[in-house]
Copies of this chain bind each other. A is one copy, B any other.
């Protein structure tokens, strides 16, 4: 415990020495109040011992935290002025949240959180946090970068195939007692030979391109940067500097970029109208990159031939969210990054960062989203 107090004290020093904006510690250095916001497992908690991403299992770090004298509050109740999270905002030091059941960290909440030092995202994707406000308040924001990129990339390939094959229409027939092959196959295709473009070729986009390689597609990618030549050679993907030039070529468009002020609502009516008629769209990035109404209209008109993703705006999607009712959708709740394998990985990554935080050590560089008042480049 003594060692930990020293470690915590050194955190103060390190942070304070780096930037005048960095908020000083208010709590005693030895004991931190840590709040985790996760989704509830309820009856599913007992069904899998590795279901660590749930409220009930709380990343599997409770014993470890409490044995070191920290307080660990875990809840799924995150909305409105009377929610459990709100009660702890004034005195928590660390908030752990996830993109799957996002605790929206607004400027207002940051203002109230006088003791807050660290915002950890268990997973990847921190746009539920007001990063400008966090940076201005001198907070550190970090993710478990890479923890679920394989999960998401695999899921994207699944969704591409589900749309290309018209799987959902087929499965619905089974459940409804029907058998009408024509009603499925008239719009069922091979992926082979089709043009697939990814908007964004970061870690997930690259993993997707690698997995698409043996399908013998025409692969395109748009990003701020060209991939290294080894990756281009390995995937056979062609760089498209101009997004508007790439999009009309694509039979399948996959969204692989973060939600930022620049990408918010990017796929509006006008952009969608420029896509190939009947285009298939996969979006596991963020719902708000799309104009909700424009997507629903284009699915109804046939301009979009199929839309699949696990991200919505807002989340959880309300019962009357129009994407639940549009034709040719293959949507799910936000699950692609929260496989059991990913949960084990982001739980371990969160524990590692907490441990480094207690010891006053830096996090792995790629994990920082806001550090010393600066927002990471992909969120700018």
Q: Which A residues fall within an 8 A CB radius of B?
A: 39-42, 44-45, 47-48, 51, 53-54, 100-101, 150-151, 154-155, 157-158, 161-162, 164-168, 170-171, 173-175, 177-193, 210-211, 213-215, 310, 315-317, 319, 323-324, 329-336, 338-343
Contact = CB atoms under 8 A, between A and B. Distances in A.
A74 to B, nearest CB: 14
Contact of A316 (B175, B179, B191): B179
A324 B179 CA distance: 11
Nearest to A325: B175
B333 A181 contact: yes
A181 B101 contact: yes
Contacts of A191: 154
Contacts of A181: 39, 100-101, 333-335, 338
Which 6 residue pairs across A and B have the least CB separation, nearest first? Answer: A170-B332, A158-B161, A179-B316, A44-B186, A190-B341, A177-B319
Interface centre among A166, A182, A316, by most chain B C-beta atoms within 10 angstroms, is A182
A190 B342 contact: yes
Contacts of A343: 185
Nearest to A211: B214
A282 to B, nearest CB: 13
B151 A190 contact: yes
A120 B334 CA distance: 47
Given A154-B192, A167-B158, A211-B215, A185 B339 contact: yes
A338 B41 CA distance: 40
Contacts of A167: 158, 162, 332
Interface centre among A157, A315, A335, by most chain B C-beta atoms within 10 angstroms, is A335
Nearest to A316: B179
Contacts of A155: 161, 165
Given A150-B190, A190-B339, A183 B316 contact: no
Nearest to A190: B341
7 contacts: A40-B182, A53-B185, A162-B162, A168-B171, A181-B333, A187-B340, A192-B341
Nearest to A179: B316
A48 to B, nearest CB: 5
A162 B158 contact: yes
Given A154-B191, A165-B158, A215-B154, A332 B177 contact: no
Given A150-B192, A181-B39, A186 B47 contact: yes
A182 B41 contact: yes
B174 A324 contact: yes
Given A44-B182, A168-B171, A338-B185, A214 B213 contact: yes
